[in-house]
Amino acid sequence: MLTTTTRTREQLCPSCGELVDAATGFRDGAQPADGSFVVCIACAAVMRYGADFRLVMASIDDVDHPEDKAHLQLIVDAISTLRRRNATWPPRSRREVIT
């Protein structure tokens, strides 16, 4: 799988307040776009890009396609597991969301 990391404007995760300045796609060549669902790598919050690429809170239940919903759930579960097992999560060198 090829992932693409795209630098985005700096903003804070609306759930945990972590600084976000990049997005990495979970599909080959995925790029963030208006309406894209994303998961915070720090707190596993599900969001989407709204107007002017602002992060707004969302829910996995808002996702229409079952395959996309399953991908997001895997990402949420993986980040949640990392948080439970590692007191120093997230690493400070990572400030991104996963699209």
pLDDT tens for residues 16-64? 998 988 888 766 667 788 888 989 988 999 999 998 889 999 999 999 9
d(CA 87, CA 69): 28
What is the count of structural domains for the chain?
A: 1
Task: Tell me the three state secondary structure of residue 14.
Answer: coil
Read off the pTM.
0.82
Domain span at 72? 5-98
Letter string b/e over residues 13-51, b meaning 16 or more CB atoms within 10 A of that residue's CB = beeeebebebbbbbeeebebeeebbbbbbbbbbbbbbee
